[in-house]
Amino acid sequence: MKVLTYPHPILKYRCKPIQKINKELRDIAAEMFEAMYSDEGVGLAANQVGLPLQMFVMNSTGDSEKKEEERVFINPVILKKKGKTTDDEGCLSFPGIRADVLRSEYVDIEGIDLNGEVQRFQWSGFPAKIVQHETDHLNGIGFIERLTETAILNIKEELEELQVNFEGDCNLGFIPPVEELFRQIKEIEDRFC
């Protein structure tokens, strides 16, 4: 499992709700944790690894040894937001790019875990930022869409470099044509949604 980078089209895709929790989905979540830790992340949304599913994984410590801090959210919903804070943020799908992002300080989130149980958390600070970032991904929103125009100008060269790399990968056949990508998306949705 590989983390996809900007401007891969599935990063703009609004993920579909999951209807089936089974061994395959549990295996996918385990692979997502591996990919997240491998890239030194603290959160990872399903569409960042090419899956059009409303699911993300997180561990706010970023420490793979701290399994008790791992959370899987299926069909997550942020029920409440409060306060505002601006903080430095990065994203595995935008490697090497960091910028200040305005987020809510507090969130109340609900989702389903891998056992099919409803879970609800109230978080502030760093975990709240992760939840908002990953939920944005599931709605096809990258963190750069939360930036000011000035901040975008500051990272313009890095974004252009990612664009050139993506186009090169497409031309070399490392990334399938858009029609094939959407056929794959439909197949995955039929299995889980």
Are 104 and 127 in contact by the 8 Å Cβ rule? The answer is no
Which of 24, 110, 134, 189 is catalytic? The answer is 134
Strand partners, 112: 74, 118
Residue 104 Cα distances to 41, 109, 122, 124, angstroms: 21, 12, 12, 8
Structure tokens, 151: 């901040």
Instruction: Provide the pairing of β-strand 71-82 with 85-90.
Output: unpaired
Active site residue 161: no
Strands 71-82 and 98-103: what pairing? unpaired
| Greatest CA separation for the chain | 46
What's 113's DSSP letter? -
Positions marked catalytic: 134
